[in-house]
Every structure is written in C-alpha cells, then in structure tokens.
Amino acid sequence: MLGVINYGSGNFRSVCNALEFLKIEYVPISSAKELRKTSHIILPGVGSYKNCMSKLDELEILEPLKQEILDEKKFFLGICVGHQILSTLGSEFEKVPGLDIIEGITSKITTDIKLPVPHIGWSEVYRKRESELFNEIEDGATFYFVHSYNFDVKDKRFVSSITNYGGEITASVEKNNIFGVQFHPEKSQKNGLKLLENFSKLH
C-alpha cells in the first residue's frame, strides 16, 4: 500500500488528487503505526525546511520514517521540501539538521546571472543516470518548479537528474529505494503523473 504523509503541507491534497486521478490506492499517514503498514511512502512538501522537520518531529514520525526506509527498505519519494530534507543540513534561516540520508546541504539558489528567486515555472529536466522513476519519460521533459533552495549533493552519483537555472540545479536524487524530486510531479501534467505512476509500480 502507498502512503502519503500528512503533516499539514499545502500540497498534500494535490498529491492525493493526482493519485486518485491515476486510480492508485493510498492511505494518509500521520503516525508511526500507519507508516509501518505501507510499502511505498510519499512525503510532500511546501514551505520551509525547518517547518517540515519540526512537523514530522511533532508527529513522532522522524525516526520511524528513517527506520522504514533505511532498515525495511520501503520505497520513498520526497517532493520539493520532502526531497530537500533528505540532506544532511538545511541552511534557510538557520542551520537545521535534516534526515542525513544523502550527504549534502540545502542552501539558497545562487545564479551567475540575475534571475528571480524563487525559481517558479516549467523547466527542462535532464537525466544524469538511468532511473526507473523516469521510465517512458523523455529526457529533457518539462516539470513544474517552485523553490528558492537547492539540494547540493556531495556524491554526484546520487543525482539522477538536473535542471538549469543560472547554473546547475539538482532536479532529482536517487539512492537505492530512496528518491527525491525538487519539482512538483502533482503539478507537472502528463510527465508528473507518469512519474508518480512509475513510483507506485516499483518493487
């Protein structure tokens, strides 16, 4: 069963709507007990790194989440801030420890040219490695982004795709059963829906 973590994120409902459109069964998750019943976990995210970590901590779900995806090897997909907190550290308003599953730091986007931040809109995403998450999705396909921060991954082998916004931006990460996407698949029309479908079929 696929579970979607509900900690009050603004795009929780949008992700659920996309899954319902695809006729993919899911359950909302707001406790460690519910987490244990799933095989696939989606963590949506809109807002700040600190708020996301704090809300998950309030639900007493942080350590159980790490256990389920690291020890039980359940498939995990983090979206936007849900992707960023896979990092070691977030440095938005202050330094905040992340899940530290993929080594790296989430920090403000810096560009070589004067581009507006946040980065909002459709951008082409280019593969850096083969990934089941992108099965039947064309390389260079467009996805919808809304973010001011970038996950700078230390070991680039875990970067599965990039986009360009005045410089290279991490669009997605992958480490074994763990996936993260900076863009919003639930807002990315056919490409995003295909990615969610691909995630649901991982086994």
Taking the domains of the chain in order of start, what are their residue ranges?
A: 2-200
Hey, which residues are catalytic here? 80, 184, 186
Span 45-71, pLDDT tens digits: 888 999 999 999 999 999 999 999 999
* pLDDT band for position 97 (cuts 50, 70, 90): very high
Span 152-157, average pLDDT: 98
- Position 114 scores a pLDDT of 82
Task: Report in angstroms the alpha-carbon separations of 116 from 112, 124, 147, 165, 181.
Answer: 12, 17, 11, 10, 21
Q: Phi and psi dihedrals of 117, rounded to 5?
A: -125, 125
CB 195 within 8 A of CB 171: no
Question: Is the confidence at residue 44, as pLDDT, over 90?
Answer: yes
* pLDDT band for position 113 (cuts 50, 70, 90): confident
* pLDDT band for position 100 (cuts 50, 70, 90): very high
* Fold exhibited by the domain 2-200: Rossmann fold (3.40.50)
123 beta partners: 143
Provide the mean pLDDT of the chain: 96
Q: Rounded to the nearest 5 degrees, what angle is found at the Cα of 69, between the Cα atoms of 1 and 49? A: 105
* pLDDT band for position 93 (cuts 50, 70, 90): confident
Question: Is the confidence at residue 23, as pLDDT, over 90?
Answer: yes
Span 32-48, average pLDDT: 94
Question: Is the confidence at residue 111, as pLDDT, over 80?
Answer: no
Question: Is the confidence at residue 143, as pLDDT, over 80?
Answer: yes
- Position 94 scores a pLDDT of 87
First and final C-alpha spacing in the chain? 12
Question: Is the confidence at residue 112, as pLDDT, over 80?
Answer: no
- Position 26 scores a pLDDT of 98
Span 112-126, average pLDDT: 92
Question: Is the confidence at residue 20, as pLDDT, over 90?
Answer: yes
Span 163-203, pLDDT tens digits: 999 899 999 999 999 999 999 999 999 999 999 999 999 99
Question: Is the confidence at residue 9, as pLDDT, over 80?
Answer: yes
